[in-house]
Chains A and B, each alone.
Chain A
Amino acid sequence: MKTIDARGLSCPEPVILTRQAMMSGEAAYEVIVDNNTSKENVTRYAQHQGYKVAVTEQDGEFTLSLSK
């Protein structure tokens, strides 16, 4: 599974990175972000692309597991 580390980045960079990674068309990805805006925006993007999103939070960081 491909991991996209988008910590330290602000909108819209994490969405752009996720979008680029998804060009490879895999069934699952993991995206790590460290702010609420990025969590929400990456979730929206993934859902728009037909992925299911599960979020876990630890120490202010969010790990988004995307799967088809």
Chain B
Amino acid sequence: MENEVKLTKLASCAGCGAKVGAGTLCNLLAGFQTHYDPNLLVGYDKSDDASVYRVSDDLAIVQTTDFFPPIVDNPFMYGQIAATNALSDVYAMGGEPKLALNIMCIPEKMDKAPVQEILRGGYAKAYEAGAIITGGHTIHGAEPIYGLAVTGFVKPENVWTNSGAQPGDVLLLTKPLGVGILTTAAKAGLVEQELLDKLYVQMSTLNKYAHDVLVKYSVHACTDVTGFALLGHSLEMAQGSGVTVHLKAQAVPYHEEAYEMADMGFIPAGAYRNRDFAEAGVRVVGAVARALQDIFYDPQTSGGLLCAVPAAEAEGCLAELRAVAPSTQIIGYVTEKLDSAIYLEA
């Protein structure tokens, strides 16, 4: 029966692991003519999470889209994760999602019931986020795809870019890493259901709650850690801000089980693409195990927020974030630009 076909079997690539590499994207986007507009506060030139356009002195709109093939067999959960991931970019810019459009692709022969469940998952998360899904577009194709195009609001002076990190800031990360490696190992049946369920809950947890805490602090830079992994997104932040980001390998939250799975070679192709893209900007100081580095290059689906706040606010911010995102850790700090954009310190 059609509805017994496993959703993930229809997908050639899992979640954000399907994302085209940052290097490839840069090449694809180079050289096109675009209008200059002073109201475009954030465009794609600094590789940020979403674009931001100033409509008036006290309103800017945040626009973003994100979609991917099934990362989980349960269609309702898949819908929730895809929507959570798409909404996340708005939170990463300091905004609040308001409107969303479904983006969907389904195999012609797929049953109606799982398709409805995917959509139900999307609507549930949009509702939780306070956003309204007003329509969308669905096509037929070989493998299922689902996601949202999201529009959010933010005050122009409250926009968080990934390019405002300052020397003296500390970095916080709100969700543990290892999702890409573990979902890859899960395809070999090597991950306990209990852990998988934990990952699904993590991936379907909105960054809204971390965002709602962070708005009370002086956020200098923020991004969400997704397809380009901790090191790819940190590199974009460091280069965009003109600083050096120091990451303390031992302080970064990750799922312990991902370490052995990385050692056993269950590493998604996206992690290799991320390494190719970012490695030249990463200086490893001391001994950081290969498996740990793999985790830092591992593409995350619906990952947490990575933000830079002044050191003086760090402890208060950490304590408050932990109440809504218990895995949150201070993972590093920012200095003036040194010989390498990232220092990965043992």
The chain A residues found within 8 Å of chain B, CB to CB, are 10-12, 15-16, 19, 35-37, 40-45, 48
Offer 14 A-B interface pairs, CB within 8 angstroms, sorted by A.
A11-B268, A12-B184, A12-B265, A15-B188, A16-B188, A36-B272, A37-B267, A37-B268, A40-B267, A41-B265, A41-B266, A41-B267, A44-B267, A45-B264
Q: Of all chain A residues, which has the CB nearest B185?
A: A12
Contact with A along B253-268 (1 / 0, CB 8 A): 0000000001111111
User: Is A15 in contact with B265, judged by CB distance below 8 angstroms?
Assistant: yes
Is the CB of B6 closer than 8 A to any CB of chain A? Answer: no
User: Is B265 in contact with A40, judged by CB distance below 8 angstroms?
Assistant: yes
Q: How many residues of B contact A (CB 8 A)?
A: 15
User: Is A44 in contact with B185, judged by CB distance below 8 angstroms?
Assistant: no
What 3 pairs between A and B have smallest CB-CB spacing? A44-B265, A41-B265, A45-B265
In angstroms, Cα B267 to Cα A1, docked, is 27
Residue of B12, B185, B265, B272 near A48 (CB, 8 A) is: B265
A11-B188 contact in complex given A36-B272, A37-B272, A40-B272, C-beta closer than 8 Å = no
Given A11-B268, A48-B263, list of 11 further CB < 8 A pairs? Answer: A10-B12, A11-B267, A12-B184, A12-B188, A15-B188, A16-B188, A37-B269, A37-B272, A43-B265, A44-B265, A44-B267
In angstroms, Cα B264 to Cα A41, docked, is 7
The interface residues of chain B lying within 8 Å CB-to-CB of A37 are 267-269, 272
In angstroms, Cα B300 to Cα A20, docked, is 28
In angstroms, Cα B262 to Cα A16, docked, is 14
User: Is A10 in contact with B269, judged by CB distance below 8 angstroms?
Assistant: yes
User: Is A12 in contact with B272, judged by CB distance below 8 angstroms?
Assistant: no
In angstroms, Cα B187 to Cα A42, docked, is 15
Taking the nearest CB of chain B, how far is it from the CB of A30, in angstroms? 17
Q: Of all chain A residues, which has the CB nearest B261?
A: A12
Residue of B13, B263, B269 near A44 (CB, 8 A) is: B263
Q: Of all chain B residues, which has the CB nearest A40?
A: B272
Taking the nearest CB of chain B, how far is it from the CB of A44, in angstroms? 3
The interface residues of chain B lying within 8 Å CB-to-CB of A44 are 262-265, 267
User: Is A12 in contact with B263, judged by CB distance below 8 angstroms?
Assistant: no
The interface residues of chain A lying within 8 Å CB-to-CB of B269 are 10-11, 35, 37
The interface residues of chain A lying within 8 Å CB-to-CB of B266 are 11-12, 15, 41
The interface residues of chain A lying within 8 Å CB-to-CB of B188 are 12, 15-16, 19
A16-B263 contact in complex given A36-B272, A37-B269, C-beta closer than 8 Å = no
The interface residues of chain B lying within 8 Å CB-to-CB of A40 are 265, 267, 272
Q: Of all chain A residues, which has the CB nearest B188?
A: A16
